[in-house]
Copies of this chain bind each other. A is one copy, B any other.
Amino acid sequence: MALQTITQDALVESLFEIIRCHGYEGTTIALLSDITGLKKSSLYHRFPAGKDDMVKAVVLYVSAQLQQLIIAPLLERQVAPEERFSKMLVTVKAFYGGGNKNCLLNVLSLGEAKDDIKTLLKQDYAAWFAALSALAQDAVLTQTEAEVRAEQFLIAVQGALVVQRLTENPPTFDNCMAYAQKQFFKSSDG
């Protein structure tokens, strides 16, 4: 068997960084070729179904990352809820490059990606939401209140990413995350 010049994982990681930055329409095969070092025809060897195939691979990769690095730790019930949340925030900050990198969920739900891809994105959101809601319920809260907190947090994540990209003001995301943590665990509504 011939040697791969780049592993599939590293390749998908590269595609991910390009797509999250340029969006669906903004990502051209030529650009992918330039950055990965693989020629266009080679990319089609790895992903026979073309661009949508590449995007799908990226989404599945991100789903796995989300599950492994964010959701699973959120559900470790032997750890205190606050600590689980804190560890998630560390991961999240790194994942979004301190707010300087876009969220694939935002980027791809804007573009004209295929329906099955949008379904995957929706599932990713739902999984994260469910894990946060479960965590909030571990921390005393009722189910309905827990769901509100979970949604509010995810809204804060997406909103802070948009605002920081817009203003190019780096501390926005980190500040917002710190504030969101306080809100998530506060005892009652003010």
Q: CB within 8 Å of B: which residues of A?
A: 22-26, 102-103, 105-107, 109-112, 121-122, 125-126, 148, 151-152, 154-160, 162-163, 165-168, 172, 176, 179, 182-183, 186-190
Contact = CB atoms under 8 A, between A and B. Distances in A.
A154 B180 CA distance: 14
Nearest to A106: B162
A166 B151 CA distance: 12
Given A162-B162, A188-B190, A26 B112 contact: yes
A118 to B, nearest CB: 8
Contacts of A182: 189
A109 B22 contact: no
